[in-house]
Amino acid sequence: MDVNDFADSPTGTLVPIHGHDPRFGPWEHVAYVPEPLPTETPQLSAVTFNAVATARAALAALDSYARQLPNPGLLRRPTLRREAQSTSALEGTFAPLEDVFAADEDEEPSNSSMREVLNYVRSAEHAFTWTAEGRPLSVGLLIDLQKRLVRGTAADTEHAGKLREIQVMIGGARSARVRDARFVPRPPGLDLEHQMRDLVDWMGSDHRGLIDPVVAAGMAHYQFETLHPFNDGNGRIGRLLVVLHLMHTRTLVEPTLTVSPWFEARRADYYDRLLGVSTGGDWDSWIQFFAKGLAASATDTNRQLTDLLAIVVDLKGKVRAAGLRAEKAMQLVDFCLAQPIFTVRQVERHLAVTYARANGLVRQLVDAGVLRQYDTAAVYGREFTAPDVLAVLLR
């Protein structure tokens, strides 16, 4: 971290830190402490305001469409898994998207990468329920989400479920010196806890009406990532916080938005724009980038939901054309959305029928051209999918 880059920062200050590295001996450096977020909109260009307006329109269109669906929860599940896979990839944990769609939440994952991805799914579902019930965002909620996120992973240590108690650095190799890091966030301690409480209070305060919700979500995301309050999981929780903030401001009611795929594809720009706020107070570039990301993500998700709903209507038409009028057959088509790759055992559990009945339903829908076997080489533990649904989700 080049001290000169932060020397004239209008958004924070540098504080001295020191410690002892068993490899290099004693060290001294500086860490960046952000100022509290302003209660008014930062100076933004006309181009950025236009980007914010476009994002608001795209989010409104997405939310309006999602709320018209007969069962928006069905479409929320695959979009959440897509977000889980992408937000984990941004932090260096990769699991193939098809494997994520096939994973059974009721079973223990076979590898650590899948465990981290499913932990995110469970954490997000808990957070969405919390927010939908009208409960306020709190530091306690964020701490609980971090504990859920790292459960059963290498980061599930005595530090899990706590604000960090050690100095950390960002963007440097694990073997590097502190001064070689790209960014060094503020020291741990009571001041970090106070700043986190200030952030949560800011997100729920009355001045929200003075700041557009898209701008406020971008500002809060910057502050969270800059404080870097946990030993692990800051990126994933920070991006989840974007959706929670939009729900809290009623900009979104249904949490179908997936933001991480767009940011993952622009990873270097994402980190550069965040850093630009710290080094030069460049809110304009960050908010413009953030708003473009929300607009593109909302538009993409809306298009995906529209295509999925059209496919479901078509598949149910095939079911009726095949003379399969049983309610369970229609429920199985809906299940294809919630679990795009599945086994007969999962159908048995979800539809609350016998294994023989579940197997018969799957076979009938295969014959009707609705389903096909996903892993064609398997004899036991076979997986099935609705290929048209899967194609849209992998697009």
Going residue by residue through the chain (395 aa), what tens digit of pLDDT does each one get?
A: 788 899 889 999 999 999 888 887 888 999 999 999 999 999 999 999 999 999 999 999 999 888 877 777 777 888 899 888 988 888 888 888 899 889 888 788 878 889 999 999 999 999 999 999 999 999 999 999 999 999 998 889 999 999 999 999 888 666 578 888 889 999 999 999 999 999 999 998 866 568 999 999 999 999 999 999 999 999 999 999 999 999 999 999 889 899 998 998 999 999 999 999 999 999 999 999 999 999 999 999 999 889 988 999 999 999 999 988 778 999 999 999 889 999 999 999 999 999 999 999 999 999 999 999 998 665 566 899 999 999 998 88
């889980």: which residue's tokens? Answer: 84
pTM of the model: 0.90
Radius of gyration of the chain (CA): 23
Asked whether the beta carbons of 371 and 390 are under 8 A apart, the reply is no
Q: Which helix (H) or strand (E) holds 19?
A: strand 12-21
Please tell me whether residue 282 adopts helix, strand or coil conformation. Answer: coil
Residue 295 to residue 308: CA distance in whole angstroms: 20
Asked whether the beta carbons of 351 and 308 are under 8 A apart, the reply is no
What pLDDT, on a 0 to 100 scale, did the predictor assign at position 207? 60
| CATH 1.10.10.10, the chain: domain bounds | 322-393
> By C-alpha distance, which of 281, 285, 284 is closest to 7?
281
Please tell me whether residue 244 adopts helix, strand or coil conformation. Answer: helix
Query: What CATH superfamily is the domain 3-300?
Result: Fido-like domain (1.10.3290.10)
The size of the chain, in residues, is 395
| CATH 1.10.3290.10, the chain: domain bounds | 3-300
Residue 350 to residue 219: CA distance in whole angstroms: 41
Dmax (CA) for the chain in angstroms is 77
> Which class would CATH give 322-393?
mainly alpha
Please tell me whether residue 393 adopts helix, strand or coil conformation. Answer: helix
Asked whether the beta carbons of 236 and 221 are under 8 A apart, the reply is no
What pLDDT, on a 0 to 100 scale, did the predictor assign at position 30? 94
